[in-house]
């Protein structure tokens, strides 16, 4: 079976690493295509090294742009790759613009599409990722879900049960594999007790007044906050002249996967608007405050350590204080977040291929 995997931005890399390893172990012929949506070395190359991902055979180098430009460029540049290589299957990951673009091109060429991390819904169509999720799921042939809520969402949208495979979370596969390596890292000296912050969603960073109020609030937290800054966020912070460190808020460059994992593991709490970090903190049993009105990962609230604080700075301060005073949400294990999700995906895909050739 020949398989093309498409990745484009940071969170895709951890997911593809797990799936490609599982399929390589079963002898699939695989080609990795990077769309180039993320292109800075710190946002891309270093992840390939740490995750033991092969260097992409093809880089479409689409770079940044408006949603229409980015999606259209991936489509234009990906189509000839498929006509040349004629794979049996294209695997896409997550919910970024590259995911939808690659799925559209493949399905129009009659090539089967597998969507890893299918079925997640924030039910908020102002998020570009929500549009990408809904449309990618509609045109995919294999929908691999990370949690039960995702299965219900897909069934509710009329997607055939036959296409849905509930396999668990591939991001957690990679975390389980690499956590021992992350724990062995020698890190620069860290404060005894610190919070870790990430923020990059348009809803949080494109609105300058909100972002400055958020950062001002965090400057008054009584423990240091380590803040690896996404390029999108850095642009805004520089525009507003907010980049000076304070005792509490410490600006860092974007961190590689292992370093970030090590920092999460030792954090007193994590404040974020990322999807993947909500999952990782739940698995690591670290308190997480999500600065969003909604989440496509409700399982991390129901079963995990995550709390949604919305756009409410008073609530954010109160929840931070509660955690620092020792109040922790009790967290349980999420079913199938067990390090074997990618193996289940490989079994489904290669089982299907064998059935087709029989």
Asked whether position 128 contacts ligand UD1 by CB under 6 A, the answer is yes
Asked whether position 319 contacts ligand UD1 by CB under 6 A, the answer is no
* Angstrom distance (rounded) from CA 134 to CA 121: 8
* Angstrom distance (rounded) from CA 97 to CA 329: 34
Q: Select the span of 91-99, 165-173, 188-196, 316-324 touching ligand UD1 (CB under 6 A).
A: 91-99
- Beta carbon of residue 83, minimum distance to ligand UD1 (angstroms, whole number): 25
Asked whether position 10 contacts ligand UD1 by CB under 6 A, the answer is yes
- Beta carbon of residue 14, minimum distance to ligand UD1 (angstroms, whole number): 11
Asked whether position 96 contacts ligand UD1 by CB under 6 A, the answer is yes
Residue among 128 and 339 whose Cβ is closer to ligand UD1: 128
Residue among 271 and 346 whose Cβ is closer to ligand UD1: 271
Annotate each residue in 38-67 with x if it binds ligand UD1 (CB under 6 A) or - if it does not, as one string.
xxx--x--------------------x---
Is residue 200 part of the annotated active site? The answer reads yes
Number of residues this chain uses to bind ligand UD1 (CB under 6 A): 19
Please provide the DSSP assignment of 26-47 as one string: TT-EEEEEE--SS-SGGGTHHH
Please provide the DSSP assignment of 137-194 as one string: HHH-SEEEESSHHHHHHHHHTT--GGGEEE---HHHHHHHHHHHHHHH--PSP--SS-
Residue among 24 and 240 whose Cβ is closer to ligand UD1: 240
Q: Select the span of 25-33, 106-114, 181-189, 225-233 touching ligand UD1 (CB under 6 A).
A: 225-233
Asked whether position 37 contacts ligand UD1 by CB under 6 A, the answer is yes
Interhelix angle 341-357/170-184, nearest 10 degrees? 140
* Angstrom distance (rounded) from CA 226 to CA 244: 13
* Residue from 85, 163, 232, 311 binding ligand UD1 (CB under 6 A): 232
Contact yes or no for 13/53 (Cβ under 8 A): yes
Distances in whole angstroms, Cα of residue 130 to Cα of each of 95, 99, 201, 218: 7, 12, 13, 28
Q: How far is CA 84 from the centre of its chain?
A: 30
As given in the structure block, the two tokens for residue 252 are 């860092």
Interacting positions 268-307 with ligand UD1 (CB under 6 A): none
**Phi, psi of 271, rounded to the nearest 5 degrees:** -120, 130
Question: Which of 38, 166, 200, 230 is an active site residue?
Answer: 200
Judged by the rule CB under 6 A, the positions of this chain that interact with ligand UD1 are 9-11, 37-40, 43, 64, 95-97, 128-129, 200, 230-232, 235
Catalytic positions, please? 200
């Amino acid at each position: 079976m020949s398989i093309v995997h498409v990745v484009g931005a940071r969170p895709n890399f951890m997911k593809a690493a797990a799936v490609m390893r599982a399929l390589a172990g079963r002898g699939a012929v695989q080609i990795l295509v990077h769309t180039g949506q993320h292109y800075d070395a710190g946002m891309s190359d270093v992840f390939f090294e740490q995750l033991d991902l092969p260097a992409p055979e093809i880089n479409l180098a689409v770079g940044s742009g408006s949603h229409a430009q980015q999606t259209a460029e991936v489509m234009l540049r990906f189509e000839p790759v498929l006509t040349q290589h004629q794979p049996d299957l294209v695997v896409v990951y997550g919910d970024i613009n590259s995911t939808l673009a690659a799925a559209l091109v493949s399905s129009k060429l009659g090539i089967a599409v597998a969507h890893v991390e299918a079925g997640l819904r924030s039910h908020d169509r102002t998020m570009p990722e929500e549009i990408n999720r809904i449309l990618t799921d509609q045109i995919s042939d294999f929908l691999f879900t990370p949690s039960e809520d995702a299965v219900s969402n897909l069934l509710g949208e009329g997607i055939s049960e036959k296409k849905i495979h509930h396999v668990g979370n591939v991001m957690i596969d990679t975390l389980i594999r690499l956590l021992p390596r992350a724990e062995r890292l020698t890190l620069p000296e860290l404060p005894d007790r610190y919070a870790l912050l990430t923020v990059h969603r348009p809803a949080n960073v494109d609105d300058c007044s909100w972002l400055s109020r958020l950062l001002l609030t965090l400057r008054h937290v009584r423990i240091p906050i380590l803040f690896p800054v996404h390029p999108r966020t850095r642009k805004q912070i520089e525009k507003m002249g907010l980049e000076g460190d304070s005792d509490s808020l410490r600006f860092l460059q974007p961190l590689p996967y292992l370093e970030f994992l090590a920092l999460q593991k030792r954090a007193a709490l994590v404040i974020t608007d990322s999807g993947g970090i909500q999952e990782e903190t739940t698995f690591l049993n670290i308190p997480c405050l999500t600065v969003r009105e909604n989440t496509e990962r409700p399982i991390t609230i129901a079963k995990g350590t995550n709390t949604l604080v919305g756009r409410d700075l008073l609530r954010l301060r109160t929840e931070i204080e509660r955690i620092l005073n020792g109040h922790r949400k009790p967290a349980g294990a999420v079913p199938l977040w067990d390090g074997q999700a990618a193996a289940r995906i490989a079994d489904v895909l290669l089982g299907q291929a064998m059935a087709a050739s029989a």
